[in-house]
Structure 1
Amino acid sequence: MISRTLFTDVLMIAFLVALQIFVLNRITLFGKYTPVLYPVFVMFYPFFRNKFQFLALSFLLGLAIDAFLYTWGINAFATTIIAYFRTLIFRTSTDTSTDFFSFQSLQWMQFLFFIGSSIFVHQLLVQYIEFFKFSRFLEIFLNVLATSAISFIFILMYALAFRIKQRI
Structure 2
Amino acid sequence: MISRTIFTDLLIMAFLVALQIFVLNKITLFGIYIPVIYPAFVMFYPFFRNKFQFLALSFLLGFIIDTFLHSGGNNAFATTLIAYFRTLIFRTSTDTSTDFFSFQSLQWSQFLLFLFSSIFLHQLFVQYIEFFKFTRIFEILLNISITSLISFIFIIIYALIFKIKQKV
Write the distance in 1 (CA, Å) between the matches of 2:132 and 2:167. 39
Could you list the runs of 5+ residues in structure 2 that have no partner in the other structure? none
> Is residue 93 from structure 1 mapped to residue 93 from structure 2 by the alignment?
yes
Aligned to 1:164: 164
Write the distance in 2 (CA, Å) between the matches of 1:135 and 1:126. 18
Q: State the one-letter code of the partner of 1:61.
A: L
SS in 1 for 2:45: coil
> Is residue 3 from structure 1 mapped to residue 38 from structure 2 by the alignment?
no
User: What does the per-residue CA deviation read over 1:89-109, in whole Å, with 9 as the maximum and x for residues that have no partner?
Assistant: 000111111000000000000
User: What does the per-residue CA deviation read over 1:88-142, in whole Å, with 9 as the maximum and x for residues that have no partner?
Assistant: 0000111111000000000000000000000000000111100121211000000
Question: How far off is 1:28 after superposition?
Answer: 0.3
Aligned to 2:61: 61
Write the distance in 2 (CA, Å) between the matches of 1:164 and 1:12. 13
SS in 1 for 2:101: coil
List aligned pairs for 1:14-163, cutoff 5 A. 14-163=14-163
Question: How far off is 1:160 after superposition?
Answer: 0.7
Contact 2:27/2:35 (<8 A) preserved: yes
Residues 103-112 or 132-141, more deviating: 132-141
The structure 1 segments of at least 4 consecutive aligned residues displaced by more than 4 Å after TM superposition are none
Q: State the one-letter code of the partner of 1:129.
A: I
Write the distance in 2 (CA, Å) between the matches of 1:22 and 1:163. 23
Question: How far off is 1:150 after superposition?
Answer: 0.2
Write the distance in 1 (CA, Å) between the matches of 2:127 and 2:25. 15
Write the distance in 2 (CA, Å) between the matches of 1:48 and 1:144. 31
Cα RMSD (Å): 0.6
Q: TM-score, normalised by structure 2?
A: 0.99
Residues 127-136 or 28-37, more deviating: 127-136
Q: How many corresponding residue pairs?
A: 168
Q: State the one-letter code of the partner of 2:23.
A: V
Question: How far off is 1:166 after superposition?
Answer: 1.1
Q: State the one-letter code of the partner of 2:165.
A: K
Write the distance in 1 (CA, Å) between the matches of 2:41 and 2:56. 12
Q: State the one-letter code of the partner of 2:107.
A: Q
Residues 66-75 or 124-133, more deviating: 124-133
Percentage of pairs with the same residue: 78
SS in 2 for 1:23: helix
